[in-house]
Structure 1
Amino acid sequence: MKITKIGLVFLSLTFLISSEGFSQKETISYILKKLERERKKIETGSFDFRQKILIRATLEEKLITGSIKFKVPDKLYAEYIQPYPQIIVSNGKKVWFYLPDYNQVSIQSVGRLEELMGLNLGLFFWASRIGELENYRKEVVEEGENYKIKLVPETGNGVEIILTISKQDWLPVETEVSDSYTVVSTRLENIIKNPEVNNEIFEFKIPLEAQVFESP
């Protein structure tokens, strides 16, 4: 899977200037710099996720739920609940995809992790760099404990992006990306930054009698 883009469903935004008197541009700059500083402090993390993918043409919806533990820069343990049970483990060199219902294991290269996860979490890890996106109009609104940043393409058929950033965790706890075909909405819950994580969870032990498929 390609780390997809995130989508719309933001019918009206009241564009506010913060109480400190910052302009839109200054407020967005402050938020993105703060996001980047906080991101650099994260070495390990865990969270639950819920992602909904809407196909505009058919109104078909796909729901993906589960939990993730990770260790910077490249270790991952993901456990899916929906659409079906699955465990994905990466030690930074290879990736194991395990389907417990079928006792099947697929071993892939790390380069295919994003493609095969079927989950869009890209903006949670590079959100602070949205300021580098060209040809986008950026708008911000402050809503209680969160900021919302909306990015609207000024030309062409680009995607529309909305980030909801927690002032407590300084992470994008909700994202939406939309284009002409899909709307992808993602929410993180039960976020823990820098928990103790046992490195053993990033090495997968193949179950007895499992059917194993390994890519060259």
Structure 2
Amino acid sequence: MPLFRPPRFFRVSGFHQVLSRGTRTLAGAALLGLAGLAQADGVSALQQFVTEVKSGRAIFTQTVTAPDGKRKKSTTGSFEFQRPNQFRFSYDKPAEQLIIGDGKKVWVYDPDLSQASVRNMDQALGATPVALLAGGDLSRDFTLKSQPAEQGVEWVLATPKRSDSGVQSLRLGFRGRELVGLEIVDAFGQRSVMQFSSVQVNAKLAVDRFRFDPPAGTDVMEQR
């Protein structure tokens, strides 16, 4: 079996299939802006993030490990978000891809194939990692539980309540006031770990960063 497909964070018929050539997780949203927030534990930090961090940007590195634990693939890129419901993931070469949530729809653009898929945001989101970014109801969508510290890092486990989210679990790790790690296990047992750098909290972002206009000649597939 080839290196497994990315975690299915948009677990909806047809739409998730375009997330296919590298790790296309939107889970990194949950990492941004937590440095400097006062917290008693990981659960408190995550709740503060949802209510206090309105925008941000960062550079990310993501490593995906296949279910057998033997195969790995790393990707890099940049990430930006702004509440409510706006985000932008730009994945670098050799597997370029652009994912944009404009507040109403989610676009996934593959420049190498000149293809774009689009779906209404209320259908694309739900009990997924990106819902944390978009302002999802934590108590409705996730069961949160603090976990024992590991090598000085405090962890919180977020388990989706919906069985069709495509995610088994999320683990968010904190060292002091800083969130230092995010681990995602998808429905197939694939593990994804994200690390962020150059984080800017509550950054002022241009409106057009969250707008997508398909380039001429792009084949657009609308998912319903």
Name the TM-score class by shorter chain.
0.5 to 0.7
1:36-55 matches, cutoff 5 A = 36-55=47-66
Residue in structure 1 matching 2:81, options 70, 79, 101: 70
Residue in structure 1 matching 2:173, options 164, 189, 195: 164
SS state at 1:40 partner: helix
Residue 22 of structure 1 corresponds to none
Distance change >3 Å, CA 37–CA 183, structure 1 → 2: closer
Instruction: Give per-residue Cα distances to partners, 1:164-185, cap 9 Å, x unaligned.
Output: 32545x4x33123459933322
Residue 206 of structure 2 corresponds to 198
Residue 140 of structure 1 corresponds to 149
Answer whether contact 2:146 2:155 (CA < 8 A) is retained: no
Structure 2: runs of 5+ lacking an equivalent: 1-7, 11-24, 28-38, 160-167
SS state at 1:33 partner: helix
Q: Which is further off, 86-95 or 102-111?
A: 102-111
State the one-letter code of the partner of 2:194. T
Answer whether contact 2:43 2:156 (CA < 8 A) is retained: no
Answer whether contact 2:57 2:201 (CA < 8 A) is retained: yes
Structure exhibiting the larger radius of gyration computed from Cα positions: 1
Answer whether contact 1:173 1:189 (CA < 8 A) is retained: no
Instruction: Give per-residue Cα distances to partners, 1:188-212, cap 9 Å, x unaligned.
Output: 2211101111112212112122222
How far apart, CA to CA, are the structure 2 residues paired with 1:97 and 1:55? Answer: 23
Residue in structure 2 matching 1:87, options 98, 108, 114: 98
Task: Give yes or no for the alignment of 1:184 onto 2:192.
Answer: yes
Answer whether contact 2:42 2:173 (CA < 8 A) is retained: no
Q: Structure 1 residue 86: deviation in Å?
A: 0.9
State the one-letter code of the partner of 1:195. A
SS state at 1:37 partner: helix
Structure 1 vs Structure 2: percent identity of aligned residues? Answer: 21
**What is the aligned length?**
178
State the one-letter code of the partner of 1:76. F
Task: Give yes or no for the alignment of 1:175 onto 2:182.
Answer: yes
Answer whether contact 1:148 1:162 (CA < 8 A) is retained: no
SS state at 1:90 partner: strand
Give TM-score scaled by structure 1 length. Answer: 0.63
Q: Structure 1 residue 74: deviation in Å?
A: 0.4
Residue 100 of structure 1 corresponds to 111
State the one-letter code of the partner of 2:148. E
Answer whether contact 2:67 2:189 (CA < 8 A) is retained: yes
Give TM-score scaled by structure 2 length. Answer: 0.61
Answer whether contact 2:59 2:197 (CA < 8 A) is retained: yes
